[in-house]
Every structure is written in C-alpha cells, then in structure tokens.
Structure 1
C-alpha cells in the first residue's frame, strides 16, 4: 500500500510538472529572465559605449588646447601623454616622411584622411583661420561630413574628430599642422584602438530579446495550434455521423478537454442508441396488434366501415414502418468507403426503370475541375479543366446511406410529381445529386419545413406516408458534411444533395 501511494504521488507530481499551466509558467519565467537580461545588457553596453565616446570627445578638446599653445608659442616643447594622448616633439613632415609612414605596416595599405578645420572666427587661433589635419590608418578612411564646420569652435571640432576616430576604431596616427614648417604627431591607443573600446553587448541583447519574443510566440502559438486541432477534430466528429473518439494529444489540459469531449460524445451516442432502441421496440410491438386488426376487419360485413378501418390501419402501419426506417438509420454504423458515385446512382435508376418507373438519369460526360493559376502559365487567373469521365465519379461515402437518401427523394418525386429526373454533377471537392419532379402542384412557401419529422405538405393528404423520408435524407446528408437544398422550378420542385467527395 505505501508503494502504491508513493507511485501515485510521483505520478501526480509528474502530471503537474508536465501540465500546460506549469510549462507556461516556466517558459514565461524564462522569457522574463531573458527579457530582463537583454534590457540590462543593452543599457549597460549603451552606457559604456556612450562614456567611451564622451571620453574621446573630451580628449579631443584637451588636444586642441595643446595645439593652441604650440601654435601660439612655436618654441614651446610639447608634453607627452597629455590626456591619454601620446604627443611627440613637433617636426617637419615632408613627402619622404609621408611615403615612409604609408609603408610602416608590412604588406598592408595605409589610408589617408586629409581635412581642414576652420573656426567661426579667426581670433581663436593666433596663427590663422584654419588647422590642417592628416590622419593615417591601416584600416580605412574617416568620414569628415559629421564634423560641424562653421557653427562651432575648433575645440568642438577637435572633440568630434576624436569621437569619430574612436567610433571606428583603428591604429590611427594624426598629424596636426602647427605652422608652415612643423607638424605635431599624435597617437591615442588608449582611446582610438579597438582594444580600448568597451565590449558591445547590444547584439547579444537583441538575440536575447528575439529569443524572448520567440518563447512568447511559441507559448501562444502552441496553445492556439492545439486548440485549433481539437476544434477541427470536434467539427469532423460532429459532422461524420459516426462520432468517433477523438485522439488525445497535446499537454495535459488539452488532453483532459479532449477526454471530456469524448465522454460527452459517448454519452450522447449511448442516449441516441437507447432512444432508437426504444422507438424500434415500440414500433415493432405495434406491428403485431396492427396485423391482428387487419385480419379482424376482414370479418366486418359493412363495406364502407371496413374500407375506413383498412385505411386507418394502413396509415398506422406506414407510420410504424417509417419510424423503424428512421431508427435503423440512426443506429446504422456503416463505415465510409471509396466507391464510384456514378455507378451507384446509375444502379438505383436502373432498378426503377426495370419496373417501368418514369425515372431518368442525366449524368455529365465531363467533370469540371478547378485549377489554380501560377506564374508559369499564360494567365494568373483560375482556370477550369474538363476531364472526360463516362463511368465514374470517385468519392468516399457511406453507400447504403446514400442509396437510402436518394431512394427517398425519387419516391417523393414519383409520389407527388409523377416523374423523377436525376442528375449528377461533380467538381474536384464536391458532388451534387439532384432530383426534379414534374408536379406543378408541388409548390411550397417553405419547403425546408418538410425536413422536420412527421411534417407533410398540403399535397400529401391523400397519399400514404409518415413524413420521415426527407428527415432521413437530411440526416444522411448532414452526417456526410453536406447540405440538402430546395429550388422551385417552373414545372416542379428540385431537391439536391450537395456532398463532399471525401469525408
């Protein structure tokens, strides 16, 4: 007993752990952690990067101060390592030095960026209105369009120039013109080099954010797909007629929901069978006293009274037969199979023609199939392809049920319209069986009312029947996922069964 309890507890814990709610909580918690980590990584990386660029800007302003002092006092000696810059003694920069500099890096080209910085006022520098700058880098040339030219001072322009070099890291060397004879060589590996830039975690942050969105979408889409599949299964089971058990799949909550639906279908099927058995039993039991009444009426000498009793007994017998047919249909568990609908309809019509009944068949010699247009065809619109098929329209259905339904339509047409013209039309997805009678008196304002059990039209007062033929036909059509339609014609009524070719 303790072993059973332990096993049950373990099973319950596993069921809880793998339930949809728990999985959702775990996945949403993981998504929250990923989203928070992505936000922190992005903020930290962006802050570090902005601080690095601000330091480069401030270093450029400090460099401008050194350049201003050297330009105003040519005899002054430059100090080294001023604000993270390595400044060397001013000297001449001739063409020989430039050529030598271009080939300082073995087997690599040196790119040169030349620009002139102009202040908004000549009073800022004592030696002129412009400062020539030449930047040499083994990686690339720098863009000078981002440096404001006239609206800001030289200090700001030096800061922006240093920021631009730091943004595109490289082993850059800058030469700044002091006068016509001297240039100042400046390098800043602690600011401009790629090793000095902070770690950029924005790309991993974007990947984490994408992972978070993926998890959220996966959770939502997973539940949506499972519920959509369950809805399709319920819809298929409800329209198939057999109400087969829906397979249980997915997380535990969806499985429990599927099990509840299966239980509901099973209970409904059992109730339907019990009701059909009850009706069948009552109808069968009524047949015996009806037969005895028929025999006893033969002993009545009054002809008028005997005829009236015979008509009442015949009407009661017809009602019993109709109820038996209806209950047999409700209890029928025929399995669908693939047949030729053309052959089935033809055989039914032939049976009537063999006994000289006015029943005819007008089946098409061509089947109309719709084909979607594509980019390789001459037109992108949908086209129709006619396939000659003289013998068969393949479909999957319940043949006995279709035979019973079509027989009911033909019987009604013969009973109330004197003739029955049957036609068969098919497309790639559906087929239609239509029965047209020739009775001009068969006009109804609401022919759909005839689908209700025991409801008959005004023209059926003097004919035998229980009013269950169209009810059975409509049940067959619905169980196949189709529809029964009525169309008033000039010479009669057309009743058509529109059914899918595959159920």
Structure 2
C-alpha cells in the first residue's frame, strides 16, 4: 500500500493539512483560554462583591446565595465540626481559610473565617494569589477564582468578625455546570495527532527510499532479485522502473558479450588447430616451439576473457552446499597430482565441566568440530575462485595452506602461501584485469585470475582481501555471506 501517490502532490497536501490543523488547534487553544480567563475573572469579581455583601449585610452578587445557619449548626460551626453540619456533602473534606483584617477606606475590615466543604478534594490554598496591600475583598475574590478553577461544587461556611455563621452556595459562580468547556487539551491532542500523522507518513516514505537503497547495496549477494517491485510514491516507483530498465540492459549487454566471445572462441578453434598442425611441419624446433607457445597464449587469453565475462553474467544458479566439502574436494584434486596443498579443518573444542558430588576434580568434555558450514552459493564459481588462489599460491609462494573460518553471518576461506618476493600492494595491483607481475616470463597466466576471484567474491556478497601471513608469506581471504 502506497503512503503517498506522489511526493510533490502528497507533500503539498500534507503541508497544507498540517498548516490548517495547526491553525485550528491554535484557534481552539486561544478561544478556550480566553473563555476560561473570563470565567475566572467573573468568579474573582463575584468573590469581592460577596465580601462587601457580608460586611454590609446587603444583597449578594448574582449567582450566590447566603443563608444563616440554624442554631444547632451554629454550635457545630463554632466548635469546628463543619462536616457535621446538615445538608453538606457526604464525607466532606474541609479546607480552612482565614482572611486577616486589612485597612479599607480608612477603617479596619473584619476578619473572615471560611470553611470550604467538598466531597472531592482539599484546595491548595497556596495558589490563592496575594500581594502587598491587597484588601480582604480582593483576597476573597482570589479564593472564589481558585474554586472556579476546579470542577468540584463546594459549599462555604463563613463567619465575618463576631457575626453569625452563614452558608454560602455559589453554583452559578464556581459550579461545574457554568464552567466553559476546556478545549485546550483537545487542541493539544489535535496538534499532536496531526504532527504524528505527518511524521509517520514522512518516515514511511523515507523508509521506502532507504529500503530500496539497501536492496541495491545487497544486489551482489546470492539470491538477489533480477528486478525490483515498484512500491511507494510515484518518484520512487519511477526510480525503481529506471533501475529495472538499466539492469535489464546490462544483462542483455553481458549476454551479448558472452555470445560474441563464445563465437570468437569457437571460430578461433579451427584455425588454431590448423596452425598447430602446420607448425608441427616446421623443421626448426626452436621456431616451432615459439609458434606453439603463441598459439596457446592466444587461445588461453580468449578462454580467460570468456570465463571472466561468464562470471560477470552470474549465470549459475545458487544452491545450498557444504563449503567444507567443496574445499576438501578442490584440495584432494591438487594432492592427487602431488601439489603441496593442505586443508586445516576446524579443531575440536575442549570445555571444562563442573565439580561432581562424588569427585572434587573437574571433568572435561570434547565437542566435535562444526564441519557443516552450509552456504547458499554457486559451487562452480567458488571452485574456480579457490583454484585460482591456490594456483597463485603455488606459483608465487611454493606451497598453499587452506583454512575455513565462519560466524553467524559470513564464511571466510583463507589461502596462505610460504612467501615470495611480492608484497600485499603488488598482489592487490594484480586484481586489475590483464595486470601481471614482473616475472611473466617465468610464470604463465593471462592476468585475469585475481580479477575473476574478486568478481566471484562480490557475486557472493563478500570481497577478496590480502593480509600478511604469520610465516612471512601472504594470506588471501575470500569472504562470502551465509544465507
């Protein structure tokens, strides 16, 4: 399923959608914030007017009802048993608040004692705003503003100075039903959802591009696809289509090269045979040997180029094989003709056990070597790569020692020689096509052996490297991926 039909069109739509969603979220936030500010200011104003009403026994502000407590409740309030007063919330929690006298208009205001009864919470009185020179009416207004902040429907029991205790109910001021709907959390959620959707789509599109890039990097691994599926936005599908077209053209070109070289090799076979027959009639043995050498070199070069191009074409189908068995088979072929080639298999591993109840000495156990190094590979190509490196080791280093290392992800075939005059830089330079060493007159070859080995290693998702060996020689390493 495609995340976006097109990055250009879909990206523009996403940017515009994010802009409008952000605008809506900001509008909801500021509108809700303004309504809440107005609601709290109204509660603050009502609290200030309430104090003046208590002090002058006048009419309370709109939305607030004041009733004098019955004699029995007066006694309970005087002793601080506010939760026992009739018609108060069940299991009420009491928050006590006192307003100290402050000079107002040249006179001293009466102290006000307030008990806030709520079934939900005790109010954090530390949040009641105060300032220097604040009047008692302003302090009571700050208290009612705090009550309006919380949706809890409290009942106030208050006493001004030495006057009677009164019950104050302000459902129209601080009740939950009159509070404006707070949309600020919804605005934040809307903004987060819009950002989350935008981020998810962008990350998914980016992951599709990165996934295709990783598939291209793993192109040379065994089992790589001949073409790729066109999933994702239009731009990615266009890129995938172009890559598939390029790969198809390259495969056709390689196939044409192989066909041309095969034809040339076949066509040269007949005249080369005639040349050999005619060369045999030459009486001068030295001249005859030189001509036969030139003919063999010519046909050998053609066969080497054909082998290299077939390796690039990657025509052999991969299958599961035992890498250990393949190496043993190659080494056995060399040993049969007396070549100094040997294979060092994995050694047995000895582990120490725990102490027994009946014996104080720890036991030991030998684990069999893991000779089942199974890989998904092209056996003919690998056989050719190992044989080429063994041939080089015998030519330049007199002896070849084969090893096999492995881990969970890769297997490494090592070929070690006994050393010669060539350095690591010299041998790496020979990996270029038709590049040969300085001793070309003494050692045969056409300069494509290491190039073919490197191509086969890359075909298996690995590489060909050279390192100094412990005995002073060179150590060649073919790394292939295990799948």
Alignment-derived partner of residue 477 in structure 2? 496
Partner of 1:157: 139
**TM-aligned CA distance change 1:242 to 1:64, over 3 Å:** closer
Distance in 2 between residues matched to 1:44 and 1:476, nearest whole Å: 69
Note the C-alpha offset of 1:191.
0.8
Q: Determine helix, strand or coil for the equivalent of 2:127.
A: coil
- Unaligned segments of structure 1, at least 5 residues: 1-14, 71-77, 368-385
Structure 1 residue 105: Cα displacement: 4.8
Q: What per-residue deviation string (whole Å, max 9, x for no partner) do you get for residues 332-374 of structure 1?
A: 411221111111111111111122221100121369xxxxxxx
Seen in structure 2, the aligned counterparts of structure 1 residues 252 and 51 have a Cα distance that, compared at 3 Å, is same
Matched, 1:57 2:38: no
For 2:244 and 2:401, locate their aligned partners in 1 and report how far apart those are by CA, in whole Å: 43
- Equivalent pairs counted in the alignment come to 460
The equivalent position to 1:396 in structure 2, one of 376, 396, 416, is 376
For 1:119 and 1:461, the matched residues in 2 are separated by 117
C-alpha deviations, 1:47-102, integer Å up to 9, x for none? 111110011111111122223334xxxxxxx32x4243223468866224676874
1:47 and 2:27 are equivalent in the alignment: no
Shift, 1:483, TM fit: 1.1
Q: Compare 330-339 and 346-355 and name the one that shifted more.
A: 330-339
Q: State how far apart, in whole Å, the 1-side matches of 2:206 and 2:325 are.
A: 43
Measured in 2, the distance between the counterparts of 1:355 and 1:40 equals: 89
CA distance 1:176–1:460, change in 2 (3 Å): same
What SS class does the counterpart of residue 423 from structure 1 fall into? strand
Deviations 1:362-419 (A, max 9, x none): 121369xxxxxxxxxxxxxxxxxx9743532111111111111001111122223222
Match of 1:352 among 334, 339, 346: 334
> Could you say which residue in structure 1 is the equivalent of 2:356?
none
Q: CA deviation at 1:121?
A: 4.6
> 1:103, CA displacement in angstroms?
5.5
Structure 1 residues 278, 61: CA separation in 2 closer, same or farther (over 3 Å shift)? same
Q: Distance in 2 between matches of 1:390 and 1:53?
A: 78
CA contact (8 A) 1:166 1:192 kept: yes
Q: Does 1:422 align with 2:406?
A: no
Structure 1 CA distance for aligned equivalents of residues 421 and 339 of structure 2? 20
Secondary structure of the structure 1 residue equivalent to 2:156: strand
Q: What SS class does the counterpart of residue 459 from structure 1 fall into?
A: coil
Task: Tell me how far apart the structure 2 counterparts of residues 361 and 36 of structure 1 sit (CA, whole Å).
Answer: 73
What is the root-mean-square deviation of aligned Cα atoms in Å? Answer: 2.8
> Does structure 2 conserve the Cα–Cα contact (< 8 Å) formed by 1:119 and 1:154?
yes
Question: CA deviation digits over 1:257-280, x for unaligned, max 9?
Answer: 211110111111111221232233
Flag the 1:416–1:148 CA change in 2: closer, same or farther, 3 A: closer
Aligned pair 1:146/2:156, yes or no? no
Is 1:86 matched up with 2:65?
A: yes
- Tell me which residue corresponds to 1:135: 116
Pair 323,296 (structure 1): closer, same or farther in 2 beyond 3 Å: same
Contact 2:222 2:318 in 1 (8 A): no
Q: Which of 244, 251, 275 does residue 269 from structure 1 map onto?
A: 251
Which TM-score applies when normalising by structure 2? 0.87
Deviation, structure 1 residue 117: 0.9
Q: Of 434, 452, 457, which aligns to 2:432?
A: 452
Query: In structure 2, what is the Cα distance between the partners aligned to 1:139 and 1:459?
Result: 97
